[in-house]
Amino acid sequence: MSGGNGASPRPQEEPGIVAVRTGMFGADGPGDTSGYGRLRRTIRQPEGTPRPYGGWFDEVADELAAALSEHGASFAAAVPRVVVDRDELTFVVAREWLLPVATALRDVPRLRFELCCSVSGVHYPHDEGGELHAVYHFLSVTHNRRLRVEVSCPDGDPRIPSIVAVYPTADWHERETYDFFGIVFDGHPGLTRIQLPDDWDGHPQRKDYPLGGIPVEYPGVSVPAPDERRSYH
């Protein structure tokens, strides 16, 4: 699948690279009028960071590992990858362990991430087996710390547990991520579209969603769909 997002599958000999993107604005072939047709950019999943992580990151990892052990899980099984990049900490969590991780982040006194600030989606069409990602940002008011959690699921089974029972603020964020990316949050109290009509076809922030085709209507004026506004022929 290359035409829809201007990317080709990752080179197998280069670990961590999801795809290679050419051109600009997702254009592929003669439709690219930007003049950047020779631009080449790799799309890379960050590799895991070895310990020590530095600062308070090691303390958070240790506290989370201790809490998960009470549920019979090893830290490596529940959090297969830890990424420290640009002085930010990300736990890449296996989806079946998301709820225990979220509960520990909230309840363990030395963690105490009281607030889930946002839930958003990412689509990597060429990341086989993990095409859809949900990204969570947590804030500890008590300790003045921020933490990112990332969970992936395949296109063929786009399901991730809902954390609304643990963090009620995630309610509308999960609905928006479902609306635009098609990730189904199991256990959500009312998982319906939040911005698009209920009968909308598809999820428009996925990279395989077609551009254009939908005119925009305002009172007294109709704006043609993007693919009908200009001709390159």
For the residues of 107-118, what is the DSSP string, one character each? HSTTT---EEEE
Yes or no: say if 105 and 113 are a contact pair by the CB < 8 Å rule: yes
What is the pTM (predicted TM-score) of this model? 0.79
Going from the C-alpha of 93 to that of each of 116, 130, 182, the distances in angstroms are 16, 12, 19
pLDDT at residue 5, as a whole number: 52
Q: Record the tokens describing residue 213, joined without a space.
A: 């085709």
Region(s) of the chain under CATH 3.30.460.80: 47-227
Whether 232 has a pLDDT exceeding 60, the answer reads: no
| Residue 206 DSSP code | S
- Kindly report which listed range (114-118, 123-127, 140-144) carries the lowest average pLDDT score: 123-127
Confidence of residue 51 (pLDDT cuts 50, 70, 90): very high
Three-class SS state of 221: strand
pLDDT at residue 98, as a whole number: 97
The more confidently predicted of residues 210 and 197 is 197
- In 96-229, the DSSP E strands lie at 115-123, 132-140, 145-153, 159-161, 184-186, 216-218, 221-223
Whether 127 has a pLDDT exceeding 90, the answer reads: no
Whether 17 has a pLDDT exceeding 80, the answer reads: no
Q: Record the tokens describing residue 3, joined without a space.
A: 């035409």
Yes or no: say if 184 and 200 are a contact pair by the CB < 8 Å rule: no
Instruction: Just give the CATH number of 47-227.
Output: 3.30.460.80
- Using alpha carbons only, what angle is made at residue 180 by residues 124 and 24, rounded to the nearest 5 degrees? 50
Rg (CA), the chain: 20
